[in-house]
Structure 1
Amino acid sequence: MTYDDLATFSQAWTNKDLDTLMRYIHPDCVYAASVGPEPGQTFRGIDEVRRGFANMLAHDTGKRQEGATVIFGQEAISEWSFTEQSDGQEVDIRGCDIFAFRGGKILKKDAFRKVFS
């Protein structure tokens, strides 16, 4: 994975473009979402990851902004943020994704978030 690949992946997330997101996913991918019952929720394999991405795209209503991304070998960290409305108030959300890659695809996407009110 390159910086350009991750930029395209991030833009697809902003655009809620599930098909483009899935083009970057390894068949054995694990997606650890930043919200859910675990805390978060873990999705394993291409079908579950697609469902997890669709759930998160429906959950997050704000426009995503990208921050710094650092790639080191077969891993990367990427920052992001957005503002959304909740009960009539703006809520600022910041987070990061920790990635692992295999064969030029995303093998793991582990998401973390901070919520400010």
Structure 2
Amino acid sequence: MAQIQTPVRQVTADTLAAFSDAFNRHDAEALMTFMTDDCVFDAAGGPEVFGTRFVGKAATRAAFEAVFKTFPDAHWGNGRHYVIGERGVSEWLFTGTHAEGWRIEAEGCDLFEFRDGLIAVKRAFRKERPKQNV
């Protein structure tokens, strides 16, 4: 008897666009459906060479939710998404007003690593700009 093999999910540019859409909806629950249980998120800022690292879905979700709280109008626009094999890139323009009242507009990108059709690693990079008063 022949074994039926389940097709392997592939991450595509459309997958990354949908992931970005979930960010713009501030939908942490939806974001986690794109990520492996042992995912790693390296935030753009932090004391380490890699920024600040969050490991696992619970820590990553909390980090994403903190961004949404800190920047209630956070938006990642002008998205361009690329996938080559098990790696991908999303380019975007981040805009938002910090809870303290200052505004940011800066280009950035995410570098991704995929496993089993999900995001295993997300590394965020963003231009550093002086705070803009609103």
TM-score normalised by length of structure 1: 0.86
5+ residue gaps, structure 1 = none
* TM-superposed deviation, 1:35: 2.3
Normalized per residue, the structure richer in helix is 1
The RMSD of aligned alpha carbons is 2.0
Query: Rg larger in 1 or in 2?
Result: 2
Structure 1 pair 88/29, CA: closer, same or farther in 2 (3 Å)?
closer
> Which piece of structure 1 moves more, 37-46 or 65-74?
37-46
Q: Shift of residue 89 of structure 1? A: 5.9
Aligned counterpart in structure 2 of residue 99 of structure 1, from 112, 117, 124: 112
Corresponding residue for residue 74 of structure 1: 86
Per-residue deviation, residues 31-67 of structure 1 (Å, max 9, x unmatched): 0011233362100112111112212222334322033
Q: Name the structure 2 match of 1:55.
A: 66
Identity rate of aligned residues, in percent? 37
Which 5+ residue runs of structure 2 have no aligned equivalent?
Answer: 1-10
Pairwise CA distance, 1:88:
6.1
Range with bigger deviation, 37-46 or 73-82: 37-46
Q: Which moved more, 1:85-94 or 1:100-109?
A: 85-94
* Greater mean deviation of Cα atoms: 20-29 or 48-57: 48-57
| 3-state SS, counterpart of residue 64 of structure 1 | strand
| Aligned residue among 74, 77, 80 for 1:65 | 77
SS of the equivalent of 1:37 reads strand
Aligned equivalents of 2:44 and 2:26: distance in 1? 17
1:57 maps to amino acid: F
Aligned residue pairs total 117
Question: In structure 2, what is the equivalent of residue 110 of structure 1?
Answer: 123
Compute the TM-score of the two structures, normalised by the length of structure 2.
0.76
